[in-house]
Structures are given as structure tokens and as C-alpha cells.
Amino acid sequence: MFIMSEDSQRTQGRDAQSSNIMAGKAVAEAVRTTLGPRGMDKMLVDSGGEVVITNDGATILNEMDIEHPAAQMIVEVADSQEEEVGDGTTTAAVIAGNLLGEAEDLIEQDVHATTIVEGYHEAAEIALEAIESQVGEAEVDDEILKQVAESSMTGKGTGGLTAESLAETVVEAIRHVEMDAGVQRDNVSIHTQIGASSNATELVPGIVVDEEAAHDAMPANVEDASIAVLDVELGVRTGEIDAEYAIDSIDQLNQAIDAEESEVRGYAETIAESGADVVFTTEDVDDRVSTFLANEGVLVFESVGDSDARDIASATGARRVGALDDLEEDDFGAADHIRTKNYGDDDLAFVEGGAAAEAVTVFVRGGTEHVVDELERAIEDALDVVATALASGEVVPGAGATEIAIADTIRSEAAGIEGRKQLAVNAFADAIDVVPRTLAANTGQDPIDSLVDLRAAHESEGRAGLITAGEEVTIDDPFEYGVVDPADVKREAIESATEAATMIVRIDDVIAAE
């Protein structure tokens, strides 16, 4: 009797578990070498020849276009990490992969999957408590926030800029949008522009949009600007159906021309008399209107994208107006300075200061598209982790020190756990060790020797990480070197990796229907 289609495929028992675990481990292994300050980049080429060069875990896994359902769960771990805290995607994926590897060994020893799952969840709870014990006592001030940003960006592609100099820009941006209600992370945007060195990257107190003036004679700079944002076509009205009009005389033609001219001049005069200095409209602007407004010294941008119009209105405090007759002074937004600037084939508008200063833009420069793309990813992650650290006020040592403490705590607690579940708890600790082991391997050190030295230093000193300082690699307190991470990054990595690994381990039947 056939229950499923003849084209369906079914894998059961150990074969299903082995297949899923192997897929998860393969995905984790793909990003393992990118971890740490000396992690390497990956080049990903799609079927159309598009190239992405990055060492960002979430980007790599998404660009790989993974189809295996179990492997997709590891991708989701990285995506969740990116969404929640902005960094630690590679760490989370690597831990998940090693949890699967340890689980595979236990299954071969006839430890039931449910026992492994229970042990992993219990170990995860111990790990979260260990993270709490590692939280630094110092207040999270600007100096620590810079260290958080720098730790996040170290080892990532930052062009000719140092992570230290970029960290100052990142912290300044986050502090700028810190309100009584908390950090308004959405008020910080990144705008990339190819050309010049990455050293030209700057913080703009306002927003940057890809727009050019509607007329060459319009002013390139406007100070203390009153801004109108319109959804109005500033040109001759046209019907929605095709129609022809018969003109029998020159007088009728002149009347039609005069009526058209009167209509467009009316638009221009209404705007000029309203007191608006700068106009952004999502619709087209007739050349005669733009010429008249240029003569009046009004700066106009036409065919503005809906998202840009929304951002401009939000940043400047303007209200979008759908009919010119409804335009009033109360609808205007404000900015200290609006300027236009040409960058090769691109024209940009900078809306700065005044009400617009509630939003800030990191204006990223770089010599090539690959440089600015990777720099954008690095800054995006740094902005997220700084906002996370500022919101929670908790940071922990990086450089593998927190993972060493987690593993040590779990092993200590495992002695009091009865039955085979103790094997799973110890296996969880072994999986966490993958972080310091990988950091050691990626810096050219022997992973086993480094792990032994780190454990010994942790036992004697209480806090020990693998510090990369120039060409030297040493074991010391990461706080002394400014290598710190938000505690929430570690928590999220443990929780998301555990959830994904335990879900995969519990699967013993895979049914694929075509």
C-alpha cells in the first residue's frame, strides 16, 4: 500500500540524524575560519557572476543559498543573532555546529536524543549564569563603548581605516540618537559612496539622499532652510484618457498656450509665496516651474523616492502635502543647512542640522564597491552592538575569555548531575571550547596548547583570553586590552545555538516530497 507519492524520499533513524548533523556541521565549518581578529574573508560568486567578499557570518551563509533544511536552521541561527544583537553571527553558527558534532558522538554511544536535548538545555542555563558572573563592574561609558565597537570591527574589512578611528564615529552616532526613551537605533543610517579613500568616511548630522536639483541654476547651498515635502506633480494637468482638441484659429492656440503657462506659473508662484526654501516632491516638475523657482532662489528636488520622502519628512519634521492648495507654513520642516554635491555620476543632497539633526548618517567612502560594502557591514554591526551595550549596560570579556569561563562553570556543575545527562552537559562544555580553539587556530597558534594555557590562566587569574596585539599573541585579561563584547551577544549566541542544535538532534525522520 502506497501512502506517499512514488517520487517521495524518506530517511529514517540514525541515517536521518547523521545526514542532518553532517549538514549542520558543514555549514558551521564554512564560516569557522572567519572568526576572530585574524579571521579570513570568503569570496562568494553567484550564477550571474556577482561577487561578494566578506567575513560576516550572516552574509556568508545567506549568500551561499543553502537548500538543505537542517543546514537552513544554522543559517537561521546567524540571522536571529544578526537581528537581535547585530554581531556574533559566526560565533553562534560555530557553536551550533559543534553542539551537533558532540551530539553525534553521544548518539554513537547510544545516548538517547531526548537525553542529549535535556542535558544541552540544562547546560545552557548554567552557561547563562556563567555569563552573568563575567559582566564587568565598570560603568559602560564612551570609552567602553568605543572598545565594544572596536572589538566588533577588528578583523573585518575596514579599508584604510583603523577600527579605533571608526569606533569613535560609531559611538558618536549612537550617542547622538540617545533619547530619554532609549537609543533610537533606526535614526542612524549608513550611506555608501564609491570614490575617495575610506579615510573620507564621516558622520553627517542629518540625512543623505540620492537626489539632484531640478535645475542647474538652483542654489547648491541653502542655510536655515524651510522644507516642503510634496506628493504633487508641478506641471500641466493631463487627463486619464487620450483626447484630442480641435483648434480652429491662432487665437485659440494662444489661449491654450496662455492657459497652460498660467497654470504652471501658478504652481511656481504658490510655492515661492509660501516661504519654502527647499521643496522635495515625489512627482515630476515642469521645466518652466523649475526655471521660475530657480530664479526665485528655491531649491527643488523632483521624482523623490517614496522612502526618501518619508525619511526627509520624518527627519526634518515636515508634513507631506498632497495638494498644493493645502500647503501651509505649519507643514514645513526645518534644517540648518541643505547642500548638493556631485560625486562622479552621482548627485547627493545633504540635509543637515536643525530638526534633521535628530537623525544621523554615517557617510561611508571607499575606492571600490567591495570595500564600501564590507565597510558598511562592519559599521552596521558595530552600531548594533554599541546600541545593545548601551541599552543593557553590561559587557563581558572577549577574546574567548567568556567561553572559557562558561565551559569551566559547566564542567564544575556537571559533577552534580546524575545519569547519562551528565555526558550531554560535559559535551556542551566541549562544544563551547570551539570558540577559543578556533581563535587560536586562526592566529596561527596550536589550538590544544592554547586551550590548556587558557584554562590554566583562568584557574589562576580568574579571567583569561587570547589577545592579539600586533604580531604577538598573548594570554591575558581582555578588559586590560579593551577587548569586550556586550553580554547580550553571548547570551543570544548560547540560546539560539542551543535551540537550533536540539531541534536538529530530535529529528529522526526526513520525508521529502517532490
Is the predicted pLDDT of residue 276 greater than 60, yes or no?
yes
CB distance 282 to 306 below 8 Å: yes
pTM over 0.85, yes/no: no
Cα atoms in the Cβ-side hemisphere of radius 13 Å centred on 439: 27
Predicted local distance difference test score (pLDDT) of residue 166: 83
For 289, residues 6+ apart whose C-beta sits below 8 A from its C-beta are: 234, 235, 264, 267, 268, 300
pLDDT in tens, 139-154: 888 899 999 988 888 7
Mean pLDDT of the residues in the chain: 82
* 258 — pLDDT class (breaks 50, 70, 90): very low
Is the predicted pLDDT of residue 1 greater than 50, yes or no?
no
Q: Tell me the residue ranges of DSSP E strands in 306-370.
A: 320-321, 333-343, 346-352, 360-366
Q: Which of 151, 317, 121 is nearest to 226 (CA)?
A: 317
C-alpha cell at 65: 543559498
* 239 — pLDDT class (breaks 50, 70, 90): very low
- Going from the C-alpha of 360 to that of each of 63, 87, 117, 171, 363, the distances in angstroms are 29, 21, 45, 12, 9
For 101, residues 6+ apart whose C-beta sits below 8 A from its C-beta are: 21, 25, 431
d(CA 41, CA 30): 11
CB distance 352 to 338 below 8 Å: yes
* 398 three-state secondary structure: coil
Q: What angle do CA 195, 198, 199 make, to 5 degrees?
A: 120
What is the widest separation between alpha-carbon atoms in the chain?
A: 104
Predicted local distance difference test score (pLDDT) of residue 410: 93
Find the range with the poorest average confidence among 204-218, 246-260, 446-460. Answer: 246-260
Predicted local distance difference test score (pLDDT) of residue 165: 77
- The share of the chain scoring above pLDDT 90, in percent, equals 12
Residues serving a catalytic function are 56, 89-90, 381
C-alpha cell at 320: 507631506
Enter the DSSP assignment of 195: B
pLDDT in tens, 346-404: 889 898 887 666 788 899 888 788 888 888 888 888 898 999 898 888 899 888 889 99
Is the predicted pLDDT of residue 344 greater than 90, yes or no?
no
* 242 — pLDDT class (breaks 50, 70, 90): low
CATH numbers and ranges of domains, the chain: 9-136+396-512 (1.10.560.10), 206-352 (3.50.7.10)
pLDDT, mean of residues 284-297: 86
Predicted local distance difference test score (pLDDT) of residue 127: 93
Is the predicted pLDDT of residue 212 greater than 80, yes or no?
yes
* 120 — pLDDT class (breaks 50, 70, 90): very high
3-class secondary structure for 257-282? HHHHHHHHHHHHHHHHHHCCCEEEEC
Predicted local distance difference test score (pLDDT) of residue 262: 59
d(CA 266, CA 362): 40
From the centroid of its chain, how far is CA 150?
16
pLDDT, mean of residues 99-109: 89
pLDDT in tens, 56-89: 888 888 888 777 777 888 888 888 888 888 888 8
d(CA 165, CA 200): 12
Find the range with the poorest average confidence among 3-7, 52-56, 248-252. Answer: 3-7
Predicted local distance difference test score (pLDDT) of residue 25: 83
Predicted local distance difference test score (pLDDT) of residue 425: 93
Predicted local distance difference test score (pLDDT) of residue 10: 57
pLDDT, mean of residues 280-309: 88
d(CA 13, CA 312): 57
- The share of the chain scoring above pLDDT 70, in percent, equals 87
d(CA 455, CA 476): 12
d(CA 107, CA 16): 12
Q: How many Å is the Cα radius of gyration of the chain?
A: 29
Enter the DSSP assignment of 179: E
